[in-house]
Amino acid sequence: MTDFLYDVDVDVPMPEPHEFSNQKHKYPFPALTAVGMSFFIPGMKSSKMSSAIINARKRFPGRNFTARNVRERRDGEMVEGTRIWRIADLAP
């Protein structure tokens, strides 16, 4: 009987890394090239965006982002969602 819930395997080859050069970004963080730029995600809660923001900060060192729940007029209707802003850059 083992003390572990999972078995330890030896000599299982690790898959090759994926090539992401042709992958489209889910959110347009790369397009936020200046402080004050933002994008809107209808139907999204800002609390669900924390990991995306953390990952964007890692991918774009020095850039900082924040999210707020907002209501905006879209096609004549008020829509709830989240707006992501690029805010003051992080100190190096």
What is the chain's pLDDT, residue by residue, as a tens digit (92 residues)?
A: 568 878 888 888 887 766 655 667 789 999 999 999 999 999 999 999 999 999 999 999 999 999 999 999 999 999 999 999 999 887 76
Q: Cα torsion at 88, 62, 29, 45 (round to 10°)?
A: -60
Amino acid at 1: M
The vertex-27 CA angle with 22 and 32, nearest 5°, equals 100
Amino acid 31: pLDDT: 92
- Residue labelled with tokens 């999210």: 67
pTM strictly above 0.85: no
Beta sheet of 38-42, edge-to-edge order: 38-42, 77-87, 64-74
